[in-house]
């Protein structure tokens, strides 16, 4: 590949990864075109983008960015996955496809980068066990509403008890 073509491809990779802070690297070598297309469609439904790139060109394109550590030690072509609701939901989807789906048996997680730090395949699997942003928000809302519900019950409880006792006393007078 000539230097001019390498520069063109490098710029295209830089353009595609512009603004991406976290990504997962996967290996999909050996998958046929139809299966790869189905995989891309399934990922696109969850707003996840996947593209295959030669690792040396990716290293060149991500030099000096937070994605650079992901390509250290990578060999051969790799697929870069990014997007989704948040990084944890991206990782959960990639690990689900890696572990459970028989249709994509040659699809395997090889690493990634989160907040500028390299993750190996085991690190990616560990992140997949974390709660997603949506789950974290629901836990936070539950923690915020819990004391309020307790306070409300504490304030309303004696009044309801007194009301029921007065009602019973008044029923006896009739």
Q: At what angle do helices 33-44 and 87-100 cross, to 10 degrees?
A: 140
Give the pLDDT score at 173.
Answer: 61
The mean pLDDT of 74-92, rounded to a whole number, is: 86
Give the pLDDT score at 17.
Answer: 85
Q: Is pLDDT above 70 for 76?
A: yes
With a pLDDT cut of 90, the percent of the chain lying above it is 3
Residues 6+ apart with CB under 8 A from 127: 87, 88, 91, 114, 119
- Separation of alpha carbons 146 and 135, rounded Å: 16
Q: How many beta carbons lie within 10 A of that of residue 39, not counting itself?
A: 20
- Separation of alpha carbons 43 and 62, rounded Å: 23
pLDDT digits (tens, 9 = 90+) for 89-98: 888 888 888 8
Task: Convert 70-129 into a string of H (helix), E (strand) and C (coil).
Answer: HHCCCCCEEEEEEECCCHHHHHHHHHHHHHHCHHHCCCEEEEEEECCEEEEHHHHHHHCC
pLDDT digits (tens, 9 = 90+) for 96-146: 888 876 777 888 888 888 888 888 888 888 888 888 778 878 888 888 888
Band (pLDDT 50/70/90 cuts) for residue 174 is low
**Mean model confidence pLDDT for the chain:** 84
């Amino acid at each position: 590949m000539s230097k001019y073509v390498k520069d063109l491809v490098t710029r295209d990779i830089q353009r595609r990864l512009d603004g991406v802070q976290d990504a997962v690297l996967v290996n999909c070598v050996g998958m046929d075109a139809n299966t790869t297309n189905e995989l891309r469609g399934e990922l696109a439904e969850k707003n996840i983008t996947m593209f295959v790139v030669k690792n040396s060109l990716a290293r060149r394109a991500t030099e000096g960015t937070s994605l650079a550590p992901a390509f250290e030690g990578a060999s051969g072509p790799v697929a870069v996955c990014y997007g989704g609701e948040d990084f944890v939901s991206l990782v959960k989807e990639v690990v689900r496809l890696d572990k459970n789906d028989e249709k994509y048996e040659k699809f395997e997680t090889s690493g990634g980068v989160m907040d500028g730090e390299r993750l190996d395949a085991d690190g990616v699997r560990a992140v997949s066990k974390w709660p997603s942003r949506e789950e974290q928000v629901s836990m936070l809302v539950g923690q915020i509403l819990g004391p309020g519900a307790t306070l409300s019950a504490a304030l309303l409880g004696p009044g309801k008890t007194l009301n029921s006792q007065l009602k019973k006393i008044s029923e006896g007078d009739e």
